[in-house]
Amino acid sequence: EVQLQASGGGLVQAGGSLRLSCTTSGFTFDDIHIGWFRQAPGKEREAVGCIGNSDGLTYSADSVKDRITISNDKAKNAVYLQMNNLEPEDTATYYCAAYYSTSRYCKTVQWAFKYWGQGTQVTVSS
């Protein structure tokens, strides 16, 4: 059984940082791409970025690319989302998701992601 679990959310003041973790099990880790998504109350879910686990190539959405870093740890079958200089607009439930791919480059179109984890709440206070 394949599983993903996002964790590391919490309450942080504007300007602060958080590192979210996405732990996985049951996958061939090198063969999957993992994406980060978020959904704020009353808004559609949007992509934050993604990583191809084989080569570690990443993509970050324009809205956050100057403030985030996505990385992985193959020994732990985990992916991380480091978020800095957080803003109240970053308040959302954050999800990680995965799909198998032979491409070096990940993508963030949601229909591509077959496997989704439970979300973790990030709240940024002003």
Nearest C-alpha neighbor of 27 from the set 59, 65, 1, 66? 1
Instruction: Calculate the alpha carbon distances from 34 to 13, 21, 119, 120, 123 in Å.
Output: 27, 11, 14, 16, 23
User: Residue 3: left if φ>0, alpha if ψ -120 to 50, beta else—which one?
Assistant: beta
Residue 51's pLDDT is 97
Nearest C-alpha neighbor of 54 from the set 102, 110, 112? 102
- pLDDT band at residue 92, thresholds of 50, 70 and 90? very high
Q: Output the average pLDDT for the chain.
A: 96
**How far is the C-alpha of 95 from the C-alpha of 75, rounded, in Å?**
21
